[in-house]
Structure 1
Amino acid sequence: MLDTLTFLLEKLFLLAHIKLSSLLPPLPRRCDRDEAPQPAGAPRTFHRGDLLEVPRTLFTHSGIYMGDGRVAHLIPDILPALTADGRRIQEMVTNARLLLGVLSKRAAIRVDSVEDFAYGAGILLNVMDRAVPRSPLPGEEVARRAERLVGSVSYSLMWNNCEHFVTYCRYGAAQSLQTDQFCEWLKSLIRDQRNIVLTALLGLLSMACLGVSPGTALPTLLVPFTLWMAS
């Protein structure tokens, strides 16, 4: 059952990601030699407090380099809420653990090796410095902030994800560029009055197919009205 749910959610997120990618503007980042992801196994020189990013299928995952080949990062994980066995918790987070962490809003800020953090993906180094208006804090201060936060935390896709963690550590204020992009896309949908007409037509179609009832009439009236007032 869990595997089926994971598969369906992954497909749903993938479709949403494709749609968002076609509509969202790119982040204001310069293109230079540091922009190209380097293979996880390639020799790199990281410094304590560096911000590492690895592209995933649906998003970019971020962490803070702690030195000695270790990275602190925030990742959804249900296991810390179920057991205090540190050895089990420190094992690599599986897709099932991650999915249940997202659904239960549980996460952990943990320290893993660079290889486990990258999970075979290329690594971007301090690229976010060009998109965030604040200057980075000294590397040692960045790493100390990350160290103080290691442990179980609450999770939210919108308000407390891996980008909020790294931006708080490196720039002194939590922010998620990917969340900001999503909100801008959502606002553009609300402002587009064609969507009001579309939702009204869909509501009328549902009443024609399912009949007039509170379950069909109320959404038909309230959803277009809400979009109209918000546009």
Structure 2
Amino acid sequence: MLDTLTFLLEKLFLLAHIKLSSLLPPLTARCDRDAASPPAAAPPLRFRRGDLLEVPRTLFTHFGIYLGDGRVAHLIPDVLPALTGDARRVQEMVTNARLLLGVLSKRASVRVDSVEDFAYAAGILLNATDRAAPRAPLPAEEVARRAERLVGSVAYSLLWNNCEHFVTHCRYGAARSPQSDQFCEWLKSLIRDQRSVALAALLGLATMACLGVSAGTALPGVLLPFTLWMAS
């Protein structure tokens, strides 16, 4: 069942990415971890304490704050801190199952990992967000201390409290996520599209034709197209 949910979630993200690519500047990669390739060594000495690191994935970009000594603080969905207080188990590398359950349960942790585990065989971009940030970065030591103070279990939201919100709060003093903003813009364009209303109506009619007319089929079949029509 968990593998099926993982597959469906990845397909949903892929469809959103394809639509976004045609409407908005392309996103650079995937949210928080891809277990396809083994970690590869990355030299930590080129980074300075307080630097903002970002790792391109498949659909989104994952972000972290460099703390020095080859360590990176980053926010990642993880259900385990909500289930156990065993620090040793929590500190183990987050699996895809833990990540998915963290997304669904809206739980995450700000954790400190090595640069190699954070990058997970991907290239790292250094302070690239500074070019488009509306505010100048805070002093490097303040950035790192903000990240260290937040280490531990936190609430998670894919749109409102993700890894990008964490690093922008630490580095610029204001939490924001351009990736989430782009996704919301795509969602609004989808709702405004008149074809979405027609598709929802056709699905509602097909459901009633296959399952029969009842409160359980007629109400969603009418309410969803009506809601989309009013919102468009």
Name the TM tier (shorter chain).
0.7 to 0.9
The answer as to 2:132 corresponding to 1:131 is yes
Instruction: Determine the structure 1 residue equivalent to 2:36.
Output: none
How do 1:136-175 and structure 2 match up within 5 A?
136-175=137-176
CA distance in structure 2 between the partners assigned to 1:7 and 1:98 by the alignment: 13
Structure 1 residue 13 displacement after superposition: 3.3
TM-score (norm 1): 0.86
Per-residue CA deviations over 1:100-131 (Å, capped at 9, x if unaligned) read: 21122111101111111001110011111122
Instruction: Determine the structure 2 residue equivalent to 1:119.
Output: 120
Instruction: Determine the structure 2 residue equivalent to 1:36.
Output: none
CA distance in structure 2 between the partners assigned to 1:153 and 1:137 by the alignment: 23
Q: CA RMSD in A?
A: 2.1
Unaligned runs of 5+ in 1: 28-38
CA contact 1:40–1:122 (8 Å) conserved in 2 = no
Instruction: Determine the structure 2 residue equivalent to 1:30.
Output: none
Instruction: Determine the structure 1 residue equivalent to 2:222.
Output: 221
Structure 1 residue 40 displacement after superposition: 5.8
Unaligned runs of 5+ in 2: 28-39
Per-residue CA deviations over 1:145-189 (Å, capped at 9, x if unaligned) read: 111111111111111110110010011111111110110001111
Structure 1 residue 8 displacement after superposition: 4.2
Runs ≥4 residues deviating over 4 A: none
Instruction: Determine the structure 2 residue equivalent to 1:55.
Output: 56
TM-score (norm 2): 0.86
Instruction: Determine the structure 1 residue equivalent to 2:42.
Output: 41
CA contact 1:63–1:74 (8 Å) conserved in 2 = yes
Partner amino acid, structure 1, of 2:188: K
Partner amino acid, structure 2, of 1:134: R
Partner amino acid, structure 2, of 1:230: A
The alignment partner of 1:152 has SS state of strand
How do 1:1-231 and structure 2 match up within 5 A?
1-26=1-26, 41=42, 45-231=46-232
The alignment partner of 2:110 has SS state of strand
CA distance in structure 1 between the partners assigned to 2:13 and 2:21 by the alignment: 12
Q: What fraction of aligned residue pairs are identical, expressed as a percent?
A: 84
Instruction: Determine the structure 2 residue equivalent to 1:32.
Output: none
CA contact 2:44–2:70 (8 Å) conserved in 1 = no
CA distance in structure 2 between the partners assigned to 1:25 and 1:186 by the alignment: 15
CA contact 1:40–1:121 (8 Å) conserved in 2 = no
Change (3 A) 1:2 1:216: closer
The alignment partner of 2:59 has SS state of coil
CA contact 1:102–1:155 (8 Å) conserved in 2 = yes
The alignment partner of 1:167 has SS state of helix
Partner amino acid, structure 2, of 1:78: V
Between Structure 1 and Structure 2, how many residues are aligned? 220
Structure 1 residue 21 displacement after superposition: 3.2
The alignment partner of 2:64 has SS state of strand
